[in-house]
């Protein structure tokens, strides 16, 4: 899941503070023997009771190391991608923020009304890959609900809401699965509210170097076997070898890639 530059800087700052604190208050006392001396004094004061302090100290000492390794492996979202997503954020629709508590989660409140809902001609749900092309998609009459770092389960919630409000029309476009491993059962939740939608177009994902994109794509490409209203668009295959279509992260399309992305979807819609 790519981090925006400001998110990466903030996390690195936190990691550096943790590392310095560990060095001053854990690593140095352990190395100089002060920690052991204090522990022995504590045991003496408490009648020789043994405790887990040495193990705890040793564990805490290596936590910052793992933090740095994790941060070093994190993908950072390029500045041009972050800027493009911000520019496109005004072109999307979102679920109304009013919610009611349900256990530890929240669900949208659906207002009761007798006025028939206006159905979307084409409703598209996606993550940041789709968000980057939101303005171009909307210029062709496609209603887009896309968000950064969106998981497949969140997309399922969006579709369930729009189905219950009666806004889904004959065409739905889905591009989810970029931000982590998903499951067949999660995609079943995505498809559950779409049984009456005439045409559901689902795009495969492109995440170079990931360990999950092939697995996610296997789930996606198998959808028509269970859901005959699904059409698969193999974005991963279409864009293979086309580095000139993407920003430096190889995931988010640049201007040229966006044109090909939108054109791919429009062709499937017969537009």
* N residues, the chain: 271
Q: What is the mean pLDDT of residues 225-229?
A: 97
Say if CB 79 and CB 19 are below 8 A apart: no
pLDDT at 75: 55
The region of weakest confidence among 87-101, 135-149, 171-185, 228-242 is 87-101
So where are the chain's domains?
5-72, 79-269
Q: Are strands 99-102 and 105-108 parallel, antiparallel or unpaired?
A: antiparallel
* pTM listed for this prediction: 0.70
The region of weakest confidence among 41-45, 87-91, 227-231, 261-265 is 41-45
The matching CATH number, chosen from 3.40.720.10, 3.30.1490.20, 3.40.50.1110, 3.40.50.720, for 79-269 is 3.40.50.1110
Q: Quick one: tokens of 218?
A: 């296997």
Q: Report the chain's mean pLDDT, rounded to a whole number.
A: 82
pLDDT at 58: 53
pLDDT at 19: 61
Residues 166-203 have pLDDT tens digits of 999 999 999 999 999 999 999 999 999 999 999 999 99
């Amino acid at each position: 899941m790519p981090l925006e530059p400001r998110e990466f800087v903030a996390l690195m700052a936190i990691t550096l503070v943790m590392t310095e604190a560990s060095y001053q208050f854990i690593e140095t006392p352990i190395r100089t023997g002060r920690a052991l001396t204090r522990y022995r004094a504590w045991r003496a004061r408490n009648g020789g009771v043994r405790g887990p302090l040495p193990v705890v100290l040793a564990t805490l000492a290596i936590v910052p190391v793992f933090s740095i390794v994790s941060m070093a492996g994190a993908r950072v979202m390029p500045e041009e991608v972050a800027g493009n997503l911000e520019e496109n954020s005004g072109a999307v629709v979102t679920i109304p923020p009013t919610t009611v508590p349900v256990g530890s989660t929240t669900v949208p409140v659906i207002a009761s009304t007798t006025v028939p809902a206006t159905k979307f001609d084409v409703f598209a749900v996606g993550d940041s890959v789709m968000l980057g092309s939101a303005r171009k998609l909307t210029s062709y009459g496609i209603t887009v609900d896309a968000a950064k770092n969106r998981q497949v389960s969140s997309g399922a919630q969006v579709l369930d809401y729009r189905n219950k409000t009666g806004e889904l029309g004959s065409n739905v476009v889905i591009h989810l699965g970029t931000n982590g491993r998903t499951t067949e059962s999660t995609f079943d939740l995505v498809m559950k509210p779409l049984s009456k939608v005439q045409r559901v177009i689902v795009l495969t994902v492109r995440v170079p170097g990931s360990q999950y994109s092939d697995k996610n794509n296997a789930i996606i490409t198998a959808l028509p076997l269970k859901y005959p209203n699904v059409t698969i668009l193999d974005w991963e295959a279409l864009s293979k070898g086309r580095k000139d279509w993407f920003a430096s992260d190889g995931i988010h399309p640049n201007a040229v890639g966006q044109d090909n992305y939108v054109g791919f979807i429009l062709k499937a819609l017969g537009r």
